[in-house]
Amino acid sequence: MLLIVIPILILLLHHYFNTIPPILQPIFQAISVICANIFIVLPISIILLIRDLISVLFNKEKPVDAKNILITGASSGIGASLAKEYSKPGVILGLLARNEEKLNKVAEQCRKKGAKCEILKIDISDIESLKKALEDFDDRYPIDLLFANAGQLAATRDYHGKVEWEDAYRSYIDVNYVGNIASIMTVYKRMKERKHGQIAITSSIAGWFSTPTTAFYNSMKSALNIFARDLFYIAKPYNIHISLLVPGLIATEMTENPDQPFPHTSNLYESADNLAKITKHQLSYNVFHIGWPYFQNLTNFTLSTYPMRIQLLFSNLMGNYIIKKSSKNGKDIILS
C-alpha cells in the first residue's frame, strides 16, 4: 500500500509546490529509507547470504598469501601492527612513512619474525618522491599487496588561542586523500599490467558519520569509502582485488595523543594488533569491507542513512558533547 500511496503524494506535492516542502522532507526521507530497506535491501541481502554460503561450502577458495607487501603510514599504529602481523620468512615488507626512527623500530621487530624489510622515508604529501619510491620498490619486488594506510587526524580547532584550522586544509587533504590516491594509482598501474594484486584502503568509521569537530578528516575518509567502492568495479577485470578497511576506535599514538580532537575513553578503544589479525584473515579471502569493531561500524553507518535533518541534529549533539567534555578536561576548544 505504501508503495502506491507515497509516489502519489510525492507527485501531488511536486505538482503544487514544485518540490517537497522542507517541513515534510524528513518524513518522506524516513519513509523512503524504510521502504527501500524492506523491499530492496533485505531481499537482496538474503540472496547474497545464500550465494556466499554456497561459495564457502562448495568452491573451497584458497586463501591469498601475499609475499611482497608495501605499507604506507607504517611507522606506528595500524600500519605498524599490520607490518608485524604479516612478518614471517619469505615476506618482503616495504615500510613507508616520514619518521625514520620509528620505521627502524618497526623494521627491527619485523626482521626478528623473519621478514625482509626496506624502509622508505617519504612524506606521502610529496607526490613525486612518493611515486618514484613506490616504482623503485615495485621494480625490485613486484607488489602483491598494498596497504594505503597513511592518515593524519584533522581537528577543526586549535589549543593555542588561535583558530588556524581553516588554513590547514591543504596538508590534511594531501596526506589523507591525495597521498593515498597517489599511492594507490601508482601501484595499481603496475598491478594492472601484471593482472594481479591486492589493494587495501584504510578509511575510518568517521567516513560514515562522526563528530563535526573533525570535518576535514571525516570528509577525506568519506571520499576514500566511495573511491574504494568504485575502484572495486574498475579493478575487477584485471584480477586486482580492492578492500576497504574501516577501523573504529583503535588505540594508537594518534588517538592517545592529548591534542587529539575528542576525549579518549580507553574502554571504547580496541587493539591495533587485533585489528591487524582480523584484517589479514579477511584479506586472505578478498573480503571487500573489513569493518572492526563491527558494532561501531554498524552504529556510524546507520547514522549516515538517517534523513538529513536528523543527521544535522545528531551532528550538533555530538559536537556540543565533545566541546563540553573536552572543556571539563581542561582543554579549550575554539571553533570558528
- Say yes or no to pLDDT of 12 above 80: no
* Lowest-confidence segment of 135-139, 195-199, 260-264, 303-307 by average pLDDT: 260-264
The span from the CA of 76 to the CA of 254, in Å, is 9
If you average pLDDT over every residue of the chain, what do you get?
A: 86
The span from the CA of 71 to the CA of 145, in Å, is 8
Domains of the chain with bracketed CATH: 68-303 (3.40.50.720)
- Say yes or no to pLDDT of 289 above 80: yes
Q: What is the mean pLDDT of residues 57-73?
A: 85
> Which among 190, 197, 299, 293 has a CA at the least distance from the CA of 241?
197
Cell numbers representing residue 23 in the block: 517541513
Q: Are 36 and 59 in contact (CB under 8 A)?
A: no
Q: What is the pLDDT of residue 13?
A: 58
Q: What is the pLDDT of residue 24?
A: 76
Cell numbers representing residue 41 in the block: 535491501
Residue pLDDT, tens place only, 18-33: 667 777 778 878 888 8
DSSP string, 178-229: IHHHHHHHHHHHHHHHHT-EEEEEE--GGGTS--GGGHHHHHHHHHHHHHHH
pTM score above 0.85: yes
Tell me phi and psi for residue 187, to 5 degrees.
-75, -35
